Amino acid sequence: DIKGDSSTLLLIGPPTARIAGSLLQLIDGGSGGEPAPYDAALAPIVLNAVAWWIEERRLLACHDLSEGGLLVAAAEMAFGGDGAGIDIAIDALGIDDRPILFGEGPHRFIVEVRDEEVDTILGDARGRGVPALVLGRTTADGRVRVAARGETLIEVPVAALKERWKAPLEEVWPVMA
């Protein structure tokens, strides 16, 4: 859950993900393709770094980017924050918005940090060989916003996302078994 209304969000781990094998692919009715690879060398480095930052109380919040990808993880972080919102800019992550927002992959996290911790976390990540970049900010406006290429791609109230998230999957997306 988001803890602050003006803190920094970082993406920790590989910046790319894939739709293959993801929840979005299931919803879209697709199949095939190569899922994001598991990097046996990078995974323990990322996990140890995140565990260390948690132990050292450098992170305000942390969410894995598994089921649903980056956008779902960001929204879920906002659900628990009282009036919390999120502004994310995805320009640094690539051109194709769908894999960026909904792609899944291993050893990836969104972390919330105090502004004064950003350089420390990014420097430590760099020193460990952990991919890390600034993703956005937390807000107090109760909205999730995603921007790319100078335009807003998504702007939706957190309350509306939470309502859909709480509904049974079959109500939101009828998926045939």
Q: What is the pLDDT of residue 109?
A: 95
* Contact between residue 84 and residue 3 where contact means Cβ atoms under 8 Å apart: no
Mark 1-30 as b/e (b = at least 16 C-beta within 10 Å): ebbbeebbbbbbbbbebbbbbbbbbeeeee
Residue 87 φ/ψ, nearest 5 degrees: -115, 120
Mean pLDDT of the region 136-140: 95
Distance between CA atoms of residues 63 and 132, nearest Å: 14
Q: What is the pLDDT of residue 35?
A: 79
Question: Residue holding tokens 């779902």?
Answer: 72
pLDDT, averaged across the chain? 87
Distance between CA atoms of residues 84 and 78, nearest Å: 5
pLDDT in tens, 83-124: 889 999 988 777 677 778 888 888 999 999 999 999 999 999
Answer with the residue of higher pLDDT: 82 or 14. Answer: 14
pLDDT band at 69 (very low <50, low <70, confident <90, very high): confident
pLDDT band at 174 (very low <50, low <70, confident <90, very high): low
pTM of the model: 0.87
* Contact between residue 153 and residue 97 where contact means Cβ atoms under 8 Å apart: yes
Q: What is the pLDDT of residue 175?
A: 58
Domain architecture of the chain: domains with CATH: 8-172 (3.90.650.10)
